[in-house]
Chains A and B, each alone.
Chain A
Amino acid sequence: MKQFQSSRRSFLALAAVTPFAVMATSACGTSGPGGTTGGGASMWFLSGEPNQTTIQKAVDAFVSANPDNKIAVTYFQNDAFKTKIKTAIGAGQAPTIVYGWGGGTLKTYAEAEQVEDLTSWFEANPELKNKFFPASFGAATVNGKIYALPNQYVAPIVLFYNKELFEKAGAQPPKTWDDVMSLVKTFNDMGVAPFSLGGQSRWTSMMWLQYLLDRIGGPEVFKAIFEGKPQAWMDPAVIETGTKVQELVSADGFIKGFSSITADSKADQALLFTGKAAMMLHGSWTYGSMKKDGQNFVQDGKLGFANFPTLPGGKGDPKNGVGNPAQYMSISAKATDEEKETAKKFFKDGIMTDTVIDAYINSGSVPIVNGIEDKLASSEDKDFLNFVYDLGKNAPNFQQSWDQALSPTAAEALLNNIDQLFLKSITPQQFAENMNATLGK
């Protein structure tokens, strides 16, 4: 019995020590979001210029004007960020300011009560609400309540082209699908890839489907899908969209090896400005990064841009746009009151100041702020900015990017099936059927 006692004592000693050991090992894993101590708020943002500098400067200016409020920003790559933020929110470790694209992902956060309802705060600050494009609030609203601050810029998907290559080929930017297919032949014969595409990121390939479906079937088709109407994906326009995509892939419309290229590496943009590819369908934000990375490609006026072409017998208005109506920032419900106050103050005074607005305009983006027409007109990028402004604000219909609009479950299935569609390992019919099975999920 004595021996048992002594052993128990050593056991107790061990039991007392073990938790510390466990704590020490688990502490290596994460030090929490942004290591916020002392009332500072934390924010996660996307790495990559020019926006990283813009945001960092905005935060620095805000903090130096409000020494009592601190904001620690951590930067992540786009694709990595999307997963990390979701996991962090699920684990109750979210940063104070939750950056995102609104839509279906924001809806899951809102329904799980992980982000603050900002409706009453916007009511108390009407000047802030009236500052932004009214359309930008759509993707921030869940069940009639506003859960996020729209900010940054409107980012439609734009058909970019290399003017130099078009001049060499004696060609005009495509207005119809027939133009597209004949340009594919022209450029392939010249030894230049017709379209650049960072296919491994998958949402890049999705941009093609978004425009094609709009041009073929009009905005109503995706609206039905978004609302989860039965058989919505089985619309003939969806199958036609898939057929057109595979037609383009079969004709070598995309650069060789497009499924090896990721958008984060910006190799897809480099292909366009180094003259290896003639055209690229990409977000308007690439204008700024091509201006920065492409030596003088943009400055010398070699970058052309156009609306997505029409399709024979298609229903969609060629002025319709797709893309991101804005970027969004929510406040984590798990943050302390002090952190929430800092975040709200930053939303009001720090995030869309005149300096920030000018920085976005200078980098070739259209901020979602009312009354910027004069600023746009006096910018050196005014042609592009007016084009984007028109596409983003005045389009008869502006469809939010599908992977953001849909629930994360449906979005992942969508991206996976798009990848297979571009690889031609599934038929357009199978694509429609696979997606149809995700309705309501």
Chain B
Amino acid sequence: MSAATTHRAASGLPKNELTSQPKSALAWLTLPALLFFAVFAVIPLIGVLILSFAKWDGIGAIGAAGMENWTSVLADPDLYNSLGLTFLIMIVSWLVQTPISLLLGVFTAGTQRYRAALAVLYFLPLLLSSAAVAIAYKALLDPNFGLAMGLGLPFLAQDWLGVPQLALGLIIFVIAWQFVPFHTLIYQGGVRQIPKSLYEAAQIDGAGTIKQFFHITLPQLKYTIITSSTLMVVGSLTYFDLIFVLTGGGPGNSTRILALDMYLRGFRANLMGPASVIAVILVVIGLALALFLQRLGGKDKQGSQLEGM
């Protein structure tokens, strides 16, 4: 920007043009981000859209396929199975994770020392990569050589990854185990932002801890909840690594969520066209969900949560 400043000084622009300068300078600052967005999001997206109309095995030459990929994928019952599973995992994950992380967030927001110590412990799963988490769980849950045998706890010796319902439940559990710490962190920050005076006033009015939670903490966390939910919901569309390593979509197709279905079609079955169709569907669903969640909280964007403060 120094070049711009010298230019302006030399040409002696009128004052009103000078005042408009900071605004346009700020706009230029978004350029690197935009460029990255274009290179890593927009261009690949266009590529995927084109590929969804192409016939390609990932190795040889690319040929045109017309609408064939779309009609075959949209007529494939596997797609609807995957869609159903994706939404099921999304909804159940949200229902499981939100209350837990909300309560943990409120708990860890306290300043007591033991809470700080516990917060560090809660935070640990977030430090591990999904693949490592999946491999560790897989070893622990091995029905013949895992935790159950090691500790002599026969009820743990279930066919965790071999029975469809158990495998699905287990995946939801491991996802929660891994991501609750992250959302706890978001809620912790949100709770700490709430002005103390609100609670003091409530105390004077005689409101107990539970009343304070429902009438102050929860409403004040509205935007935090929306942020956390957006991350959870949109993030659950892209769960891949954990499920891929844990079950590979199995047993059968019982944990083959959309992102995994896309990968298996593309890179295992060498059907890049149909895989791209699923990628496009994923993008559309993700965008729609993100917009919807924005709307939920966005209606009264100008509305303040701190009126009268």
Residues of A at the B interface (CB closer than 8 Å) are: 2-3, 5-7, 9-11, 13-14, 18, 21-22, 83, 86-87, 89-90, 108-109, 111-112, 114, 199-200, 202, 255-262, 265, 267, 270-271, 276, 407-409, 411-413, 416, 419-420, 423, 425
Contacts and interface: CB of A to CB of B under 8 A. Distances in A.
Contact of B59 (A114, A258, A262): A114
Contacts of A199: 162, 251
Contacts of A423: 164, 251-252
Interface string B22-38: 00100010011001100
A108 B57 contact: yes
Q: 4 smallest A-B Cβ distances: which pairs?
A: A259-B162, A257-B143, A112-B60, A412-B269
Nearest to B6: A6
A258 B162 contact: yes
Contacts of A259: 159, 161-163, 250-251
Nearest to B270: A408
A202 B253 CA distance: 13
Contacts of A114: 59
Nearest to B251: A259
Given A83-B267, A276-B144, A200 B7 contact: no
A260 B253 CA distance: 14
A413 B271 CA distance: 11
Contacts of B264: 412, 416
A423 B250 CA distance: 10
B95 interface: no
Contacts of A86: 58-59, 267, 270
A195 to B, nearest CB: 13
Contact of A260 (B7, B8, B142): B142
Q: Is the interface of B mostly helix, strand, loop or mixed?
A: loop
A260 B160 contact: yes
A14 B162 contact: no
A407 B271 CA distance: 11
Interface in B254-298: 254, 264, 267-271
Q: Max chain B CB contacts within 10 Å: which of A18, A270, A408?
A: A408
Given A7-B4, A18-B32, A419-B251, A267 B145 contact: yes
A270 B145 contact: yes
Given A2-B7, A3-B8, A6-B4, A256 B159 contact: yes
Contacts of B158: 257
Contacts of A408: 57, 268-270
Nearest to B5: A6
Q: Is the interface of A mostly helix, strand, loop or mixed?
A: helix
A425 B158 CA distance: 19
A259 B162 CA distance: 4
Nearest to A193: B144
Interface in B216-244: none
B32 A260 contact: no
B309 interface: no
Nearest to B17: A3
Given A11-B31, A270-B145, A108 B3 contact: no
B19 interface: no
A412 to B, nearest CB: 4
A114 B61 CA distance: 11
B48 interface: no
Interface of B: 1, 3-4, 7-8, 11, 13, 17, 21, 24, 28, 31-32, 35-36, 39, 57-61, 138-139, 141-145, 157-164, 247-248, 250-254, 264, 267-271
Nearest to A255: B144
A21 B268 CA distance: 32
Given A200-B250, A271-B144, 8 more contacts: A21-B32, A86-B58, A86-B59, A86-B270, A108-B60, A267-B145, A407-B270, A408-B270
Contacts of A3: 4, 7-8, 13, 17, 21, 24
Contacts of A6: 3-4, 7-8
B71 to A, nearest CB: 15
B155 to A, nearest CB: 14
B3 A409 contact: no
Contacts of A265: 139, 142
B247 A14 contact: no
A18 B28 CA distance: 14
Contacts of A255: 144
B247 to A, nearest CB: 7
B60 A83 contact: no
A9 B7 CA distance: 11
B270 A200 contact: no
Contact of B270 (A22, A108, A260): A108
A18 B3 contact: no
A199 B250 CA distance: 10
A419 B31 CA distance: 49
Given A108-B59, A112-B60, A420-B252, A10 B4 contact: yes
A216 B163 CA distance: 30
21 contacts: A2-B13, A3-B21, A10-B4, A10-B28, A11-B28, A18-B35, A22-B36, A86-B270, A112-B60, A114-B59, A199-B162, A199-B251, A257-B157, A259-B250, A270-B144, A271-B144, A407-B270, A412-B270, A416-B253, A416-B264, A425-B164
B136 to A, nearest CB: 13
A6 B269 CA distance: 52
A407 B60 CA distance: 14
A11 B60 CA distance: 39
Nearest to B143: A257
Contacts of A83: 267-268
Contacts of B36: 22
A257 B159 contact: yes
Contacts of B145: 267, 270
Nearest to A111: B60
Contact of B247 (A200, A276, A416): A200
Contacts of A416: 252-253, 264
B166 to A, nearest CB: 9
Contacts of B3: 6, 9-10, 13
